[in-house]
Chains A and B, each alone.
Chain A
Amino acid sequence: MNQLLLQQEASKELADFPHIKEFAYKKNNTIQLNSFNVGVMDCIGIYYVLEGKHNWVIGASEHTLYPGDIAVILPGENFGGKNNILNIGSLMWVKLNVQNHRQLIGEWSQLSKKERHSLEQILSVNKDLLVLNIKEAQALFFELKYELQNGEVGFCTRIAQLLDHLFIIICRQLIRQNHSRRDFPTTFLRLEQTLRQNLARQWTVEEMAAFAGMGTTAFTEKVKNYSGFSPLNYLINLRITEAIKLLKRNEVNVTDIALAIGFYSSQHFSTTFKKLTGYTPSDFRKNNIQINNLQP
C-alpha cells in the first residue's frame, strides 16, 4: 500500500474538513537524523503504530510504542522522536485543529455537547496516561483513509463519525486500562492525590467523575457512600485541611492561601473556614501563635 500525506490547504481531499490539519500514512525504511524533531504540539494528534518499535518523547516522559499502540498528544505538549529520530516502521496519524486547550473536540463532532465535554475531561485529566493499546483503531484509521481519498456519497458524515468513534474508544480504553472497575478505594485515592496537587483548580463534579471514569450520578453516589461526603464537600474538606497547614506555617498571607487552595476570594475562604472551625483564618493563626507562646 502506498504512503499518504494529506495536509490542510495543500491537499484538496481536506477541503471539506477544515478541522483536519493533517492525515498521514507513513512507512519509514531508514533512520535519518532530525527526521522527527521534538516540538510543542499546536493541535491534537492521534498516532497509531502499525509496524516497528518507536521511542517517543511525549510531554515530560519517554514512551516506547509497539504495533497496536496509540498515542494521543494534547495541544501544548512536547512531542517527537527520541533523539529527534523517526524509527523504522509504519504508522498513521491524524492531527485535528483545536479552538483552545480545553475544547479538544471541535464543532465538527456529532456527539452531544455533554458527552463531548466528558470525553474532553477524561483526556485532559489523564494527560500523562495517553499511550494506550487499541488494536481496533487500525480499522478506523484505514476507513478514515478510504473515506478521505474516495469522497463517496455521505463521506462527510462518515468521517465525523469515524473521528467521534476514535475519541470514544480512546477514552473507554483509557478508563479500562488505568482504572480497575473493581477497586474504588484505589481509584478514589488517586483522585484524592490529584486533587491535592491541584487544589487551586476550579474542579467540577463532572471532572472528578471523568477522572474515575464514571457518570456524574453514579460517581456522586459512590463517593457519598464511601467517604461520607459529596464530591464537592470532600474537596472543601481537602482545601480546609491544606489551609490549616498553611496557616500554622505562618509564612503565606491569608489571601494568597485562599487563592492557592481554590477559593475565589479571601472572603469566601474566610466564611467557609469559620463555618467549620469557629475561627476566621486570621484568628485561627493568631490563636495558634498565642498557644505556642504560652508553651515553655
Chain B
Amino acid sequence: MNSIIAIELGTNAVRIFAFDLMGNIIGFAKGHYPTFHEGPDNSEQDPEQIFITMLYVLKNLLNETLYPQKYVVGCICFSASMHSLLTVDKDGVPLGNVMTWADNRGKEEAVELKESELGRKLYEATGTPIHPMSSMVKIAWLRRNDPERFKRTSKFLPVKSYIIQQLTGACIIDYSLGSAMGLMNIHKLDWDDDALGFAGITAQKLPQLVPVFYSEAKLKKEFQKALRLQPEVKLIVGSSDGCLATLGAGVWEEGKATITIEDSGAFRIIGDKIIKDHNKQIFNYLLTKEHIVSGGPTNSGGVIFEWFTKRFGDFKKAFDIDYSMGNLIRDAAEVAVGSDGLLFLPYLLGERAPIWNANAKGCYFGINIRHERKHFIRATIEGILYEMYSIGKTFENHRTINSLSVNGSFASIPFCTQIIADIFNKPVSTITHGGTIGVGAFLLSATEMGMYKNLREASNTIKMHQIFLPNANDHARYMQYFAVFESLIEKIGVEFDTISKLQNIK
C-alpha cells in the first residue's frame, strides 16, 4: 500500500487526486457534470451522472496513471460540496435530481424562519445560517411545495451519502457535511429535534452521523473487481469541501484565517470554540467535534469576473476565456489603486455573507467622464475583494487575525493576492500546491492511518509559498473607498427588492 486517493465531489466536477505517502500528488483527473437551472431559483444535478462520472474518472486515473507505476491504493477519502439534498424512495431510487447549495427555492421559508425566535435557536443549535441553501429549509420547502415527493421520500441525503451508499450499501454522513445541513445539533453531535420539527421529518429519514475518520463501510466486491482495488482498501467518509480546504490550507494557529475564492468564495478560521454571532451570519461547521470551521460564504467570487470577461473581454480565439482574462488583468494593472474613484458592488447573484440578501444586485458607482474600460476592469476586481474584506471584518469582533492564507483560482492570481494584502493590511501567504481540498483529504487520511498524531500536526506540514506584504499607502487609499462601499450597501435597501421584483416580471 503506497498511495491515497482523495475524491472531491465539487460543485461542477468531480476531481480526484492521488498522493503518495509523502503527500506528493502522483495523479489527477477530473470529470465535469452540469448544473440544470429549470427555473430562476432552481439549481440541480443528476445524481446518477455524478456517480457514473466519479466511477469513470476514478477508473481512468487508476488504469492510466497509478497501476502502470505499480502504485497500490491504501485508502480513498471523500469530500463533497455542502448543503446538497437528494430525496430517495424506499428502494433507494432517487426521486428527482440533487438540489445543490445554490438552489434558492426555499427563499420564503428562510425569510419567515430567520426573523423568528425559532430561527435564532436553530442557528445556535446547528451552526448553519438560516438560508435557502440549508438542507433543513429545502426539506421544509419540499413539504410545502411538492408534498407528493415529500411523502414518497424515505431518506433525505446529501449527495455524498448517496455516492457512498452506491459504493458500499451504508447510509452514512460525516459530521462536517451533517453540520452543514442545518439539521444537526453541533453541541450534541446528533440530529436536532427542533430542526427536524421545522423540516417536518424524523431522524429515521436521515443518514447515520459518523465522525470524519469513519471507515467501516466496505467497498462492494463488484467495484473492487472493476477498479482492481485490494479487498482491504479503506474508504474514509471524509469531510466537506469547506472544512478540508481550510485543513489543506494549513491555517491552524491562532491569529490566522484563510480566504478561498473560486467561483464563489469564503473567509474561514479554525478554532476549538463555536463563534456566537448575534447577527446569526457566521457559520460554524464541524471538522471534528474539537475543531470548528467558522466563516462566511460569498456568492460574489471569480464567477463575477468571469461574467465581466464574457461580456467585455476580447475573444480572439473561440472560447479562450483564460487568455481573455489575462489581458483584462494586464489592463487593470495600469489603473491606480482605487480605480480613480470607480466603485463596484458585486452582487450579480444576490449575496450571502455579510449582507444575506438574495435580492441584492450589482452596481457601478462614481463613474465620471474620464473613466475608461480599464477602470471598470479594476473596479470589478476591487469590488469582489472589498466584499471579501467586509466578511473578514465581521470576524475581527470575535478573533484577532494577524495573517491570511489565500487559495482558489481567483484569489491566487498574484494581482488579486496583492490587493487582498493591501485591503486587509495583513501579510498574505499562498500555498505551493494547487488543490487545498485534495490536500486536506490527504492530511485527514494520513492522520487516520497514524502518520500524524492529530490534524493540527498534519496541517502544520503545509508549506507556505510566497508572502505578499501589504503596502500601507495603498491600504489607506483602499480604506477611503471601502468606507463609501460600505455605506452604499447600507443605503441601498428597498431598491434592491424593487428592482428585483421588476426584473422578475415576465
Chain A residues packing against B (C-beta within 8 Å): 180-184, 187-189, 192, 213-214, 218, 222, 226-229, 233, 237-238, 240-242, 244-245, 248-249, 274-279, 283, 287-288, 291-292, 295
Contact = CB atoms under 8 A, between A and B. Distances in A.
A227 B60 CA distance: 14
B229 to A, nearest CB: 10
B48 interface: yes
A278 B90 contact: no
Interface of B: 13, 29-32, 34, 46, 48-49, 51-53, 55-57, 59, 90-93, 169, 220-227, 309-311, 313, 315, 318-319, 321, 324
A182 B48 contact: no
B318 A292 contact: no
A278 B226 contact: yes
A228 B225 contact: no
Contacts of B31: 227-229, 237
Given A184-B321, A226-B32, 15 more contacts: A180-B310, A182-B310, A182-B319, A183-B310, A218-B318, A227-B31, A228-B31, A229-B31, A238-B49, A241-B51, A241-B52, A244-B52, A274-B226, A291-B92, A292-B92
Contact of A278 (B49, B223, B311, B315): B223
B89 to A, nearest CB: 9
A288 to B, nearest CB: 8
Contacts of B46: 241
A104 to B, nearest CB: 25
B93 A248 contact: yes
Contacts of A279: 222
21 contacts: A181-B315, A182-B310, A182-B311, A182-B319, A183-B310, A188-B34, A213-B318, A214-B318, A227-B31, A227-B32, A228-B29, A228-B30, A228-B32, A242-B48, A244-B51, A249-B93, A275-B226, A277-B226, A278-B222, A287-B222, A291-B169
User: Which 5 residue pairs spanning A and B have beta carbons closest together?
Assistant: A278-B226, A278-B222, A227-B32, A292-B91, A184-B319
A257 to B, nearest CB: 13
Contacts of B51: 241, 244
A218 B318 CA distance: 9
A50 to B, nearest CB: 33
Nearest to A280: B222
The secondary structure that dominates the A interface is helix
Please indicate which of the listed interface residues B13, B29, B56, B220 has the most CB atoms of chain A within 10 Å of its own CB. B56
A276 B92 contact: no
A295 B222 contact: no
B202 to A, nearest CB: 14
A22 to B, nearest CB: 37
B307 to A, nearest CB: 10
A81 B347 CA distance: 46
B40 to A, nearest CB: 16
Contacts of A241: 46, 48-49, 51-52
Given A182-B313, A229-B31, A278-B226, A222 B319 contact: yes
Nearest to B89: A292
Given A182-B321, A292-B91, A276 B52 contact: yes
A244 B315 CA distance: 40
Contacts of B52: 237, 240-241, 244, 276
Contact of A245 (B30, B48, B91, B169): B48
A235 B222 CA distance: 23
Contacts of A214: 318
Please indicate which of the listed interface residues A181, A222, A228, A276 has the most CB atoms of chain B within 10 Å of its own CB. A228
B318 A244 contact: no
B169 A182 contact: no
Nearest to A236: B56
Contacts of A295: 90-92
B119 to A, nearest CB: 35
Contacts of B29: 228
B245 to A, nearest CB: 21
Contacts of B324: 182
Nearest to A279: B222
A163 B324 CA distance: 36
Contacts of B310: 180, 182-183
Given A218-B318, A228-B31, A228-B57, A278 B225 contact: yes
A276 B55 contact: yes
Contacts of A244: 48, 51-52
A202 B323 CA distance: 35
A287 B91 CA distance: 12
Contact of B55 (A187, A229, A277, A288): A277
Nearest to B16: A228
Nearest to A233: B56
A189 B44 CA distance: 13
A226 B32 CA distance: 7
B97 to A, nearest CB: 11
Given A182-B319, A241-B48, A245-B48, A228 B13 contact: yes
Contacts of A292: 90-92
A169 to B, nearest CB: 18
Contacts of A242: 48
Given A214-B318, A227-B31, A237 B56 contact: yes
B349 to A, nearest CB: 15
A278 B228 CA distance: 10
Contact of A237 (B53, B92, B309): B53
Nearest to B224: A278
A237 B49 contact: yes
